[in-house]
């Protein structure tokens, strides 16, 4: 990959991915991992890294990118008054525990595990959103603090394995408990921050000293990829926030569902190949 033309193509791909990550973070309250993980996976593969290195490296780097993205997105939604701060406080420690456990599993898990978890969670959420949520209710309101803490640990674990900011998972949980989609999206942006910081450090530790990592990597986090992605990510997050609050509930659900379905199909195609 020393060809300058290939290098320019990679930089352009990462810049475009960053723009998409930021926009999606603002629009859907997700960290953008649903697009950054497959993009980073392809980039690391093109750079010659085997799947058992490329996949955890893509996940870890995705979590690092989610940190500034989630800060920007959560701030935008918070200023519009739709973030449930009480729920975030309840989830803080359980999410942390789940993320750390997920990062530990990542140190020895096979690459297909990440992809299968991604497909299952994203597909389930996509079907629910596209069907309009009819019949998709566990309860008419959020449960007590004990159950919420269990949910928080599960969100952290699954998100750490998927390399996402938890938006797809926490959004699914909240809407199953009759939380309005705009409030679920906004609060999920805050969940991204709870997950991304410990998740990044967890993947640094999980990959520390592993062979065949790129020279710029800190464990399973590529610093060069992070730096090339962030500028456009920051630029587009506010555009996504603005659009999210201008869309109707049904349009926002449909857009999110189609996005998750497309990403799921991408990973299914990869596993089938």
What tens digit of pLDDT does each residue of 164-209 get?
667 778 888 898 898 888 888 888 888 888 888 888 988 898 889 8
Mean pLDDT for the stretch of residues 136-154: 90
Q: Which residues contact 134 (CB under 8 A, 6 or more apart)?
A: none
The rounded distance, in Å, linking the Cα atoms of 167 and 226 is 20
How would residue 152 be classed by pLDDT, with cut points 50, 70 and 90?
Answer: very high
**Rounded percentage of the chain residues whose pLDDT exceeds 90:** 13
Q: Tell me, what's the pLDDT at 94?
A: 94
Distance (Å) of CA 94 to CA 47, 131, 151, 236, 240: 37, 31, 8, 31, 28
Q: Which residues contact 186 (CB under 8 A, 6 or more apart)?
A: 29, 77, 78, 80, 82, 83, 84
- HEC letters along the chain: CCCHHHHHHHHHHHHHHHHHHHHHHHHHCCCCHHHHHHHHHHHHHHCCCCHHHHHHHHHHHHHHHHHHHHHHHHHHHHHCCCCCHHHHHHHHHHHHHHHHHHHHHHCCCCHHHHHHHHHHHHHHHHHHHHCCCCCCCCCCCCCCHHHHHHHHHHHHHHHHHHCCCCHHHHHHHHHHCCCCHHHHHHHHHHHHHHHHHHHHHHHHHHHCCCCCCCCCEECCEEHHHHHHHHHHHHHHHHHHHHHHHHCCHHHHHHHHHHHHHHHHHHHHHHHHC
How would residue 2 be classed by pLDDT, with cut points 50, 70 and 90?
Answer: very low
CA dihedral 241, 242, 245, 248 (to 10 degrees): -110
The rounded distance, in Å, linking the Cα atoms of 25 and 269 is 25
Most confident by average pLDDT, 15-29, 42-56, 86-100, 201-215: 86-100
Give the start-to-end residue ranges of the domains of the chain: 4-272
Handedness of CA 150, 129, 114, 10 (dihedral sign): negative
- Which is more confidently placed, 268 or 34? 268
CB atoms within 10 A of CB 6: 12
The yes-or-no verdict on residue 134 having pLDDT over 90 is no
β-strand partners of 218: 221
The rounded distance, in Å, linking the Cα atoms of 120 and 122 is 6
- Are 261 and 130 in contact by the 8 Å Cβ rule? The answer is yes
Mean pLDDT for the stretch of residues 119-140: 78
Most confident by average pLDDT, 28-37, 46-55, 192-201, 218-227: 218-227
């Amino acid at each position: 990959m020393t060809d300058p033309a290939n290098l320019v193509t990679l930089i352009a791909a990462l810049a475009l991915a960053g723009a998409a990550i930021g926009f999606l973070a603002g629009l859907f309250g997700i960290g953008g991992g649903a697009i950054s993980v497959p993009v980073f996976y392809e980039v690391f593969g093109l750079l010659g890294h085997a799947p058992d290195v490329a996949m955890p490296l893509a996940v870890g780097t995705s979590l690092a990118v989610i940190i500034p993205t989630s800060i920007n997105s959560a701030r935008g939604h918070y200023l519009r008054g739709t973030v449930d701060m009480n729920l975030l406080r309840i989830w803080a420690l359980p999410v942390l525990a789940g993320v750390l456990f997920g990062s530990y599993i990542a140190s020895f898990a096979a690459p297909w595990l990440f992809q299968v978890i991604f497909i299952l969670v994203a597909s389930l959420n996509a079907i629910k959103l596209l069907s309009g949520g009819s019949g998709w209710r566990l309860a008419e309101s959020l449960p007590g603090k004990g159950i919420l803490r269990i949910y928080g640990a599960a969100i952290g674990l699954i998100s750490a394995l998927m390399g996402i900011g938890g938006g797809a998972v926490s959004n699914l949980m909240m809407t199953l408990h009759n939380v309005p989609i705009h409030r679920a999206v906004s609060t999920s942006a805050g969940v991204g921050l709870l997950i991304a910081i410990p998740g990044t450090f967890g993947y640094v530790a999980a990959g520390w000293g592993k062979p065949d990592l790129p020279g710029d990597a800190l464990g399973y986090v590529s610093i060069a990829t992070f730096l090339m992605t962030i500028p456009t990510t920051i630029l587009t997050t506010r555009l996504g926030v603005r659009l999210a609050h201008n869309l109707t509930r049904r349009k926002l659900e449909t857009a999110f569902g189609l996005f998750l379905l497309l990403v799921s199909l991408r990973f299914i195609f990869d596993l089938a190949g």
